[in-house]
A and B are shown apart, each in its own frame.
Chain A
Amino acid sequence: AQTVTQSQPEMSVQEAETVTLSCTYDTSESDYYLFWYKQPPSRQMILVIRQEAYKQQNATENRFSVNFQKAAKSFSLKISDSQLGDAAMYFCAGGTSNTGKLIFGQGTTLQVKP
C-alpha cells in the first residue's frame, strides 16, 4: 500500500521569497512516480510538476523545483520568487505506472503576503 503525508497544514511566504513544502511517502512498489498539484480558490486542480522515482535528477519547471530524496522517502516542492498567484492549496500525490491511480496527501495551504 502507498501512503502520502503532508505534515504542514498551512505555510506562508513573503512575495518574491522562496518557500519549501514538505511531503513524505511510503510505497512497496519499485516503479512509482510523484506529483505536486496546485488547487487555487477556483478548486481547479492543476499539475505543477512530476518526478519519476528512477530518475536521480530533480525535476524543475520554471520557478518550481523538487527535492527528491529517495532513501528518506521525501519529496519536497520549492517555489522560488513567490507570486501572489501562487496562493493555493498544494497536494503531493504518488502513483504507479500500471493503473495510473493516485494517492494524495492532505494538502498544504500556502499564503503569499504582499
Chain B
Amino acid sequence: DGGITQSPKYLFRKEGQNVTLSCEQNLNHDAMYWYRQDPGQGLRLIYYSQIVNDFQKGDIAEGYSVSREKKESFPLTVTSAQKNPTAFYLCASSIKRGGIYEQYFGPGTRLTVT
C-alpha cells in the first residue's frame, strides 16, 4: 500500500530537548513538505524539499531543521530554539499532475513539550 507514514502519533518531550519527527513516503514523490497546525488554525509551512539533498525554508522555519538524504524520507528536527514547539505536525508529499502539484498528507504527529 502506497502512502505517507509519520511516527509516532503522539510525542512528549521536556523543554530544552531536541526531538526528531519521522516522515516516510513510498509514493515515489519528488517533493516533500512539513507543516505546523495550531488549535483552530490553518497549516503553516515550515520547510519543503523538491529534490534529494536540497530544501528551502517555509514561512516559520526558525527553530526547526530538516534533511533530505533519501527521496523517501524527510525528517524534521524541532530544536530547543523553537519557542512554542507544542503543536500538530503534518508531513506531505506531492506529485505534479496535469501541471499542478497535488499534495497528499500523512496522519500527523502531535508533539507536546512541557
Contact = CB atoms under 8 A, between A and B. Distances in A.
Given A43-B88, A45-B90, A99-B50, A104 B103 contact: no
Contact of B42 (A95, A97, A105): A105
B101 A97 contact: yes
A9 B33 CA distance: 26
Interface residues of A, number: 26
16 contacts: A9-B40, A33-B100, A35-B103, A43-B107, A47-B104, A91-B42, A91-B43, A97-B96, A97-B101, A99-B56, A100-B31, A100-B96, A100-B103, A101-B48, A102-B43, A102-B103
Interface of B: 31, 33, 35, 40-45, 48, 50, 56, 58, 88, 90, 92, 94, 96, 98-105, 107-108
Interface of A: 4, 6, 9, 33, 35, 42-47, 50, 52, 91, 93, 95, 97, 99-107
